[in-house]
Structure 1
Amino acid sequence: MKTDQIHFHDGAAYERYMGKWSQLAGKTFLDWLDPELGQRWLDVGCGNGAFTEMLIGRCHPASVRGVDPSEEQLAYARMRPALRTVQFRQGDAMVLPYPDSTFDVAVMPLVIFFVPDPAKGVAEMKRVVRPGGAVAAYAWDMMGGGFPYEALLAEIRRLGIAVPAPPSPEASRRDVMRDLWAGAGLDAIETCEIEVCRTFSGFDDFWATAFGAPSVGPTLATMAAEDLAVLKARMRTRLPAEVSGHITCSARANAVKGRVPK
C-alpha cells in the first residue's frame, strides 16, 4: 500500500480527482460481487472513504473497518457523516492489524497496484476473512490504458517528462489478478471487466481536477510555462467538448473475487 513515488495527503482533492471515479466503478463491482446483507467488511486501502461510504449505503453491513497508510486520508474519511460507525486504522495492506477470520468480506478498491508485494496483500486479506468468506478487488487496467487520466499521462510523457507510477501496475491485469488469488489458495475465482464514463462540466473542470492528483498534480505544478501551455492545448484536442461544453471521459477496471476455503 505504500509507495515512495505517490503519496495521498489531501482527502478533499482526492475526492474530486479519484473518489468519484472509484464510486462509478464501485457500483458495478458491488453489483457483480452480489454480497449478502449484514456482513462484517474490511476495506483495505480505504483512503478518504469514497468506496466505504458507498458499500454502507448499498450493502447494509453489520460492521465496517477501514485501513490505510495515510492519516490525512483517514481524517477526511472520519468526517463523512455516513461513516461515523466505521472504525478506521492506519496500517499496511501487507501486514493487516486484525486477527485471523475477523471478517466476512475483505475488499481492496483501486489499491492492489500500490502494494509493493501484491501477493502478500492478497494473503493478508485471506487470513483475516473467515472460511467461506469473500476476498475481492478492483483496479484500473493500468497496463491496458484503462486509467481514467491515461490520456493526460501519455501527453506528459510525450513531452519527455517522467510521471510518478505505482510500484505494481502489472497487478491490475485480469490474468495476474486471477493468479494472485489462486496463489493465495482462494476458491471459486472469477474476474470481470468494468467500464465507466464520467462527465466534466468543461475542460477547465477537468484541468482543475487533474491538478489535485497525487501523481500528476505535483508534476503539473513544476512544469515550465511553455510545456504546460503545449500540454493544455494537446489535451483540449484529445478531449473535445460536446455541444453543451461538457467533456466525457471513460475508464476501464478489472475485478476479481474468490472464496476462502471452508
Structure 2
Amino acid sequence: MWGDGEAYEPYIGRWSRCVAGEFVRRLSVPAGAVWWDVGCGTGAVTRAVLEAADPGRVVGADPSESYLRYARRTVGDPRAGFVRADARRLPAPDGAAGAAVSGLVLNFVPEPARAVAEMLRVVHPGGVAAVYVWDYTQGGMELLRHFWDAAAEVDAGAGPLDEGARLPLCAPEPLRLLLRGSGLAGVTVGEIVVRTRFRDFADYWEPFRGGQGPAPAYLASLPQARRDLLQERLRASLPAAADGSITLSARAWTAQGTRPSR
C-alpha cells in the first residue's frame, strides 16, 4: 500500500511538506543535534529538519527501499543519511539523538506504542520525541473526506474502509495517551492546518490512481464502471472555483514530549 515514492509525492507528499516545516520549527531543538526521522518515506520531514533546524545529522529510517531511493535522490544534503529499518526496531544506540520525529506514520505501524518507545529510547534524557498524523475525522482532511463521502454514496461497502472509521490515532486524546503511556514527559498536543490547492479536478483525481494508501487501493479494487461513477460524484461535489481550481483544508495533529532524566 505504501512504497512508491513517485506515486506518493503527488498524492500525500506535497501536503505533508506543507505541515513538516511548521512541525519542526515548533520543536525548538538546539542547533547541531542528531535527529532520527522515523518512517521517513520520501523525506518530507528530513528536508524540513535540514532547512529549519540546523542539525548536525539527520538519519531517515523507512522499511520501503523505493521511498528511500526517492529520498536519497531528492534530499541531496551531506548531513542526511537513510537506512532501511522498521519503526519498532531502530538501528541506533540508546540516547544517541537529540530528537526523534515521525510524520504521518503511526497509524500504519502495527504496534505504534513500540514505535514511540523506540523513539524515546534513541533520544538522550531531555531529548524530544514528536509525531504528527492527519485528522481523518469529519472535516479534518478534506482531500480524503470528499473521496470517502462520495465512495459511500456509490458503494455501501466503502464505509468501514474510511481512514476516519478504522485508524484510531487521528485525534488529540489518543495521541496524548500514546505518548504518555510510552514514558514521555511533558506531553503536549497541537494542530497545524494547511490549505491544499488543486489546479483543477484532474490534479485532485489523478493521484488517487497511483495505488498509494487506503483510498487509492480501494479505488483500484473497484470495477471500471464503479470507478467512473465515483469520479463523476466527486467532480460534482468538490468546491471548484470559477477557474476550475479546488481549495481544501487539511489538519494534522501534533504531539511531543521529552525523555525524562530518570
How many residues get paired? 256
Residues 1:104 and 2:103 aligned together: no
Pairs within 5 Å for 1:62-141: 62-141=56-135
Q: Secondary structure at the match of 1:33?
A: coil
Q: Does 1:196 align with 2:194?
A: yes
Q: How does 1:173-252 map to 2 (within 5 A)?
A: 173-215=171-213, 216-252=215-251
Kindly provide the amino acid, as one letter, of the partner of residue 12 in structure 2. M
Aligned to 1:4: none
Q: Would the aligned equivalents of 1:116 and 1:167 in 2 still touch at CA under 8 Å?
A: no
Deviation for aligned residue 1:83:
3.9
SS at match of 2:119: helix
One-letter amino acid matched to 2:149: A
Alpha-carbon offset, residue 84 of structure 1? 4.5
Secondary structure of the corresponding residue to residue 107 of structure 1: strand
Distance 1:240 1:164, change over 3 A: closer
Aligned to 2:76, the other structure's residue is in SS state helix
Q: Which residue number corresponds to residue 157 of structure 1?
A: 152
Deviations 1:17-59 (A, max 9, x none): 1111111111221232233222110000001112211221111
Tell which deviates more after alignment, 63-72 or 88-97. Answer: 88-97
Q: Deviations over 1:56-115 (max 9, x none)?
A: 111121000011111111111110143444221111111112110010000010111111
Aligned twin of 2:47: 53
Query: Partners of 1:210 and 1:182 in 2: how far apart?
Result: 35
Cα distance in structure 1, aligned partners of 2:178 and 2:166: 13
Kept in 2: contact 1:134–1:260 (CA 8 A): yes
Q: Shift in Å at residue 171 of structure 1?
A: 2.0
Write the distance in 1 (CA, Å) between the matches of 2:29 and 2:165.
30
For the residue of structure 1 that corresponds to 2:7, the secondary structure is helix
Shift of 1:191: 0.6
Cα separation, 2, equivalents of 1:235 and 1:169: 23
Instruction: Give unpaired runs (5+ residues) of structure 2.
Output: none
Identity of aligned residues (%): 37
C-alpha root-mean-square deviation of aligned residues, in Å? 2.0
SS at match of 2:169: helix
Q: CA deviation at 1:144?
A: 4.7
Q: 1:90 and 1:175 mapped to 2: Cα distance?
A: 31
Which residue identity lines up with residue 160 of structure 1 in the other structure? A
Instruction: Specify the code of the residue in structure 2 equivalent to 1:155.
Output: A
Indicate if the aligned counterparts of 1:203 and 1:247 stay in contact, CA closer than 8 A: yes
Equivalent position SS for 1:80: helix
Match for 2:147: what amino acid? L
What TM-score, normalized to structure 1?
0.90
Q: Do the aligned partners of 2:31 and 2:54 also contact (CA within 8 Å) in 1?
A: yes
5+ residue gaps, structure 1, are 1-6
Instruction: Report the Cα offset of residue 173 of structure 1.
Output: 1.9
Q: 1:23 to 1:81 in 2, by over 3 A?
A: closer
* Aligned equivalents of 2:23, 2:5: Cα separation in 1: 22
What CA distance in whole angstroms lies between the structure 1 residues aligned with 2:77 and 2:218?
33
Name the CA distance, whole Å, in 2 between partners of 1:49 and 1:20.
Answer: 11
CA–CA separation in structure 1 for the residues paired with 2:165 and 2:80: 29
